[in-house]
Structures are given as structure tokens and as C-alpha cells.
Amino acid sequence: MTQPTHGGNVYKAAYEQQIPVDRILDFSASINPLGPPAVMRHAIRSAIKQIVHYPDPDCRQLRQALAQRCGVDPSMILVGNGSTELIHLLPRALGIKSALIVGPTFEEYARALQDAGSTVRYVYARREERFRPPVTEVLRALSTKRPRFDAVFVCNPNNPTGQMITRSVMCEIAEVIERRQSWLIVDEAFIDYCQNQSVVSLLSAHPRIVMLRSLTKFYAMPGLRVGYLLGASKVVDQMKERQPPWSVNSLAQAVCCAVLRDRAYEIKSRVFMANERSRFMKELRSLPGVRVYSSVANFVLIELPDRSSAGLVADQLAAEGLLVRDCSTLPGLSARMIRVAVRTVKENRRLTGALGAYVANAAP
């Protein structure tokens, strides 16, 4: 399997630029700019003594906390070493031989499917429609006899377009899925910024929905690696059988239990993001020739002016210690697209300044 280019590789950037990692400003991974909740440090300190034991392979306390939060039974939750681990378990655990992916989107679904020998097809949101989710096309693809899809993968809100399928539309898709006896995989890695649209409440009526969630982005701890899956208990059991033992370490389990109790952090993060995203987008839109797509998440997709190259811009910004996600290699996007995370006001201003200088120099 070839390694895809994801955002967030600050180590590679630091090595290439010959600067320390902490001099890199990473806009390429979409991580909560407020940093992890303060309770994280305390949780790590008190969990250190558990390191002499293997971690709880069943993540009992954490599953209990997540179950309470999501309003489901703990038997409907499987915790993983980041949601990436769970994405890779899915195709074999559910016997997915052919899948439909709603693109352009996170590349790991296709990678996991191809690794399991599954056939992958896409329906794409289109630039001309400002990347509106291609719901009609999805429903049409699902209603044809051939090819028949064992599963549909939807990222909601979608990375990198920042667009969202509403819960009522998702319900429509779920009904078709039920009739076809397929699976609807909904990745809610970025749902914390638009919670009331989660499909979690559909789980009890739709046992063929499987949801993925990540704790690494909203709680700003991608280095700790925790994600979880929500689905029917039978699905969870099937997945668990394939998961390596102890894949979620003790510190990660303890930290997640602690941060989930910090409701003030959640509110502060949501309020900050709503305000700063709109300020940042306005600032970016003022750059000549730059198109900024609307987003409900903590990142924005940007189309650079005509004749720009996303790869070149990403390289130039990297030379200034600013990492952005070059989206030109993502199926369904153009050579002029980059994705940037919404960070703090000061950091965002720095990026707008650097991008503005590039745009001004590149103007004919």
C-alpha cells in the first residue's frame, strides 16, 4: 500500500526546512486551535502509574463515558487507535466487496477498501455547484441494480469541502440503504462543530448505519490517537474480533475520560470557531482572485487564482514555516486547491499575509 499525503506531517516539514518542529505553524491538519483542555495534563499525570499494566483492552470506562455522551448502550461503541484504525478494520469486518465513496473526500476510505480488495467507485461534489453534497447522484447510484454497493462512505461534514448533508437527507439515504441491505458509513470526525446534525439519533432505527468519530481533532490531541465507532452491537463485536489487542493505550483512555467531562471547553471551542472562521474567511476572500468555499467545520477549502499551482504555493509557504494542505492530488479537486485549518486570529492573519504576498507577486 502506498502512503497517502495527509496533512499534519510537521516532522517531515521541519526536517526539510531544517527548523525545529515548534517553529512550524501547521494549517494542514485541522486541529482545535485552542489546544487540548487543561484537564489533559492532570489526567496524564495521574494515569502515569497505570503504565506498568496493559491498558484495558475493552476501554470500559471510556466506552461508558462515550455511551453516556451519545445516548447509546456501551455495547454499541468500539474505541480505536484513532478513527483511522477503525476505518481500516471496516471493509473486512463487514465483508464490503464494493463501495461507493462520496468525494472529494478523506483518502483513507479508498485506501482501506483497496487494501481489502474491494472495488471503489465515486460520486463527486462539483466545483460548479460549490461542492454541494451530490445527494441526488448518491440516491441514483444506490437505486440501480448494477453495480450494487455493499456500502456507501460519507464524511459529514466533509473533509476537505466543509459541506454538510443534513440529518433529514441522511435519513433518506439510510432508508434506501436499509432496503438494499447495504451499509451507510458516516464519518463524523468534525461533527463537534455542528452537533445537532449528527446522525447518532438514527442509529436505533437504522442498524445498518455505522458511524466514525475522532477525539483527536476537537480535543487537539492527534498525537494520542483515539477515535471510536458507533453501530449495532453485532457490528461492534465483528470489528472487535479483528482489532489488535491493547490498541488504545492507558494514557489515551484516561485523558479522553477526563476531557469528555469538560463542557466549558466544548462551548468555548464552538463559539471561538464560529466567530474566527467567519472573520478568517472574510479576510481570505479579500485576496484578489482567491475563492473561498463556505464551511461548517474548522477548515476551509481555498481555490487559488488562475495559473497558480497548489503544490508551488504549499512549498513557498512551507519555506516560511507555514504548512497548508495541497489538495491538488485529491481525486475530484483541481490543481489550484489548498485546505487550511482555522487557527488563532494572530496565526490566521500571518497566513493571510503570506498568501496575500504570494497572490500579489503572482499577478500578471
- Under the rule (CB under 6 A), what is the footprint of ligand PLP? 82-84, 106, 155, 159, 187, 189, 214, 216, 222, 227
* Nearest distance from C-beta of residue 25 to ligand PLP, angstroms: 18
Cell 452537533 found at: 195
Question: 3-state class of 227 per DSSP?
Answer: strand
Distances (CA, A) of 28 to 9, 127, 302, 315: 8, 21, 12, 12
Minimum CB distance to ligand PLP smaller for 62 or for 362: 62
Minimum CB distance to ligand PLP smaller for 5 or for 352: 5
Question: 3-state class of 37 per DSSP?
Answer: coil
* Nearest distance from C-beta of residue 99 to ligand PLP, angstroms: 15
> How many other CB atoms are there within 10 angstroms of residue 240's CB atom?
17
* Nearest distance from C-beta of residue 84 to ligand PLP, angstroms: 3
Contact 29, 7 (CB under 8 A): yes
Alpha helices per DSSP H over 94-232:
108-115, 135-143, 167-180
Distances (CA, A) of 287 to 246, 291, 308: 49, 9, 14
Minimum CB distance to ligand PLP smaller for 134 or for 227: 227
Contact 211, 200 (CB under 8 A): yes
* Nearest distance from C-beta of residue 159 to ligand PLP, angstroms: 4
Minimum CB distance to ligand PLP smaller for 212 or for 290: 212
Contact 152, 142 (CB under 8 A): yes
Comparing CA positions, the residue from 307, 302, 306, 277 lying closest to residue 355 is 302
Contact 211, 26 (CB under 8 A): no
* Nearest distance from C-beta of residue 122 to ligand PLP, angstroms: 15
* Nearest distance from C-beta of residue 275 to ligand PLP, angstroms: 23
Q: Which residue is nearest to ligand PLP (CB)?
A: 82
Rounded Cα gap, residues 213 and 103, in angstroms:
18
Minimum CB distance to ligand PLP smaller for 214 or for 269: 214
Minimum CB distance to ligand PLP smaller for 6 or for 261: 6
* Nearest distance from C-beta of residue 19 to ligand PLP, angstroms: 24
Minimum CB distance to ligand PLP smaller for 55 or for 82: 82
Rounded Cα gap, residues 20 and 14, in angstroms:
6
Comparing CA positions, the residue from 151, 154, 173 lying closest to residue 163 is 154
